[in-house]
Amino acid sequence: MIQAGVVGATGYAGAELCRILSGHPEAELAAVSSVSFEGKALSEVYPAYFHMCDMICGTEEQVVEKSDVIFAALPHGLSQELAAVCWKAGKVFIDLGADFRLEKEEEYQEWYANSFTHPELHKEAVYGLPELFREKIKGKKLIANPGCYTTAVPLALAPALRKGYIEKDGIIADCKSGVTGAGRKPTQGNHYPELNESFTAYKVASHRHTPEMEQTLSHIAQSPVKLTFVPHLLPVNRGILATCYARLKEGVTMEMLESAYAEAYGKEYFIRLLKKGQVANIKNVRCSNFCDISLHMDERTGTFIAVSAIDNMVKGAAGQAIQNMNLAFGLEETAGLKLFPPAF
């Protein structure tokens, strides 16, 4: 059994990692750490885990020592040092934070006000979006797991962009996220009475996930892509819905688009291309590693609309991280991840 450790296990992504790993046939949870809850059982923090995962939170060092693969679910900026330790120790390191996602240091500096402390490691890091970059991930030891929006949006647009069916400018990603994306720490904005029955946009056209999406889409388009990204906060726990708009190139038909998506994703276990007439819904992917995608066209205005839905904590975080682990260790890619979304 692969020994898996989780650093930052008491945050939402960390807790979800522990839960999903408990059902993995070839990996098992070896150790967990938490700065805030060191010495406490995970089930004291999450009573839902009582009797299922009562492991005591230790230190980062203990996790590294006991694990073959270390998942880091840390605030941005805290992963580089840990990655260096793991790299030296020959361990696989999968970072759920942003430290290794951006390839260009100047972008990292601009959006995160931080620099590359270990530039040599950034050369080793691969971007862990398997449906787009699978071959690069296999067997790697340092994987930057994408963020939630940055999974949902590129998956929705990649096939159309790769085929050159849509214009590379004027793309709009209007996204709506469940509240768990904002983390476990209580804030005024996420206090129940303030968020309940509310809905708004935030960080309008200024969210840090913007350059990450552009980087991915530029690789796919093989030339620079810019987009306008506006995230919104939904009064639900889980899920991201990305409604993506792009101008269609002349002569592109719905059939051509459907073929492009079928070709790109037809064999992907975790992507479900919906049938005509259906629209992706966050409800249908809850607690699963699926990304549902529906394709639409506004013929009146020549606009392509792709709607994608993921569970921000699974395909948008913990599930995809385990998918990357499976690729890194040469396991079946779906191992431990055939999660059946509940109907309600």
Active-site amino acid positions: 148
Distance CA 156, CA 308 (A): 6
Q: What is the DSSP string of 201-247?
A: E-STTT-THHHHHHHHHHHHHTS---EEEEEEE-SSSS-EEEEEEEE
Cβ atoms of 308 and 261 closer than 8 Å: no
CA dihedral 204, 210, 214, 216 (to 10 degrees): -140
- Chain positions 186 to 205 lying near a copy of itself, rule: CB under 8 A, are 186-188, 190-202, 204-205
Q: Which stretch binds a copy of itself (CB under 8 A): 79-87, 150-158, 257-265, 296-304?
A: 296-304
- Chain positions 170 to 189 lying near a copy of itself, rule: CB under 8 A, are 170, 172, 174, 176, 178-180, 184-188
Burial class (CB within 10 angstroms; exposed 0-12, middle 13-18, buried 19+) of 246: buried
**In the complex with a copy of itself, which residue's Cβ is closer, 139 or 235?**
235
Please, what is the minimum distance in Å from the beta carbon of residue 163 to a copy of itself? 21
Please, what is the minimum distance in Å from the beta carbon of residue 272 to a copy of itself? 5
Sheet holding 2-7, edge to edge: 57-58, 27-33, 2-7, 69-72, 92-95, 142-144, 126-127
Q: Determine which residue in the list 84, 230, 254, 335 makes contact with a copy of itself, applying CB under 8 A.
A: 230
**In the complex with a copy of itself, which residue's Cβ is closer, 210 or 326?**
210
Please, what is the minimum distance in Å from the beta carbon of residue 84 to a copy of itself? 30
**In the complex with a copy of itself, which residue's Cβ is closer, 85 or 230?**
230
Letters for 246-275 (x = contact with a copy of itself by CB under 8 A, - = none) are: -x------------------------x-x-
Which residue matches tokens 């609309």? 305
Distance CA 274, CA 306 (A): 11
- Chain positions 25 to 64 lying near a copy of itself, rule: CB under 8 A, are 46-53
Q: Determine which residue in the list 227, 248, 264, 328 makes contact with a copy of itself, applying CB under 8 A.
A: 227
**In the complex with a copy of itself, which residue's Cβ is closer, 19 or 208?**
19
**297 lines the binding site for a copy of itself (CB under 8 A):** yes
C-alpha to C-alpha distances, 333 to 20, 165, 197, 309, 321, nearest whole angstrom: 14, 30, 39, 20, 11
